[in-house]
Amino acid sequence: MRILFSFPHALGAPGIGWTAWQQVTGLAARGHEVHVVTASLARPLPDGVTVTTSLARGRARIPHRAIGRDRAFAWHDRVAARQIASTSPDLVHVWPLAPGATARLARDRGIPVVREAPNTHTAHAYRVVAREVDRLGLTGRVPSAHSENAAHLRMEEAEWAAASAIFAPSDAVAETFLAAGFAPDRVVRHQYGYAPTSRRVSARTPRRRGLRAVFAGYGEPRKGLHHALDAWLSSSAHTDGTFTVVGRMMPAYADLLSTPLAHDSVQLAGFTNDIAGALGAADVLVLPTLEEGSALVTYEAQGVGCVPLVSTAAGALIDDGVQGLLHTPGDVAALTAQFDRLATDRDALSRMSAAALDHAPDLTWAAAAERLEAAYLEVAQPGRAASLPRPVRAHSATGEVVTDADAA
């Protein structure tokens, strides 16, 4: 297929930039002709991928804030729209944020348009985050990308309206769009992935020792670290185990959590570029997130045999009780019980760790590219998509198991 890929941020930068870069690289590896329009390029792309930058000239990058973020997004959108005539794509793939000109022009020319949804429906995300921030008494003190922004929501609504399909990387994301009134045939599942390293990995042993837990992510209310710490200190696991916090922290949020963070069993590791190392040194990954797209750390954890203990909102691709354990967002009692269980039942921990490693090949970026291709064909050529791989088994936001066929 000939694909026009619009990404109005720095492609290859940490976060969604890394995810989008992996998508482009994976599509190119599968033989697709990819034309990228991006604000700037943070890392090289494979030969054969053409690149147009909307906010860079040579090595000089123009920050979005230099001309105003909304103006920068609108400018990028116009640049991408102009590429439709010169590339004649079979399909257009757009990422947030842009006012929708590219999507509308493609639609008007009969070209399928898919809109990436790296997080839940934005209005849903705003509600969930605002509710928790208010509950914690932090309103106005913890700025976040998920703080309410009416202008950005209007941009997203314009793209959603023009898109042929919304691409959801998890059931948790898909369900929020369905709840917002999107037709089921417009919400298409795919998945993200992880990059295996050369590090030797093995399943955790059943040998009795203190449970080693790790939280890896930005310390903000949305990620639920406060629930993780409450559960940890309420469980028996903290008596001889360790809970390591990896990642930067919002200052006001860190102040709120100063007492549990100072507990003898809790270690603050700060930011690291070696997430695989941090996960490899732990028995369990703890991510009681309240709102998420499909957290890449849950893929990386399984790749090194670290057992995910995550909320159903984390977008993790696991079967409850097989590769890890799930809980409803905010259910501290359930997470406490999971800590207690795995602190005492090392055989169960070892089995889940081995199952996570067995599952890992289905979670690589190469596997994600194969499923992204299937999702494209589901939109552009439905008949061809039937024989291609579907997203792996996943759990819905309600905790209900969704089969391979249902997940699509």
Quick one: CA torsion of 253, 255, 257, 262, rounded to 10 degrees? Answer: 140
Lookup: tokens for 33:
């002709």
The DSSP code for 194 is B
- Are the CB atoms for 74 and 98 separated by under 8 Å? yes
**Cα-based angle 182, 188, 192 (whole degrees, multiple of 5):** 130
d(CA 296, CA 99): 27
Q: Rounded CA gap, 234 and 238, in Å?
A: 8
* Per-residue pLDDT at 146: 67
pLDDT at 136: 95
Omega before residue 211 within 30° of 0, cis: no
Report the 10 Å Cβ neighbour count for 358: 14
Rg (the chain; Cα; Å): 21
Pairwise CA distance, residues 291 & 269, whole Å:
24
**Helix residue ranges per DSSP H, 68-219:** 69-87, 101-108, 122-135, 150-162, 171-179
| pLDDT (tens digit per residue) in 215-225 | 999 999 999 99
Q: Name all domains of the chain by residue range, CATH numbers in brackets.
A: 2-193+365-407 (3.40.50.2000), 212-362 (3.40.50.2000)
Contacts by residues 249-254 (CB-CB < 8 Å, ≥ 24 positions apart): 249/218, 249/219, 250/142, 250/144, 250/218, 250/219, 250/220, 252/138, 252/141, 252/142, 253/138, 253/142, 253/219, 253/220, 253/221, 253/225, 254/219
Residue numbers in the chain where pLDDT is lower than 70: 144-146, 383-408
Specify the 3-state DSSP secondary structure of 81: helix
- The pLDDT value given to residue 397: 39
pLDDT reported for residue 139: 86
Euclidean distance between CA atoms 397 and 385, whole angstroms: 26
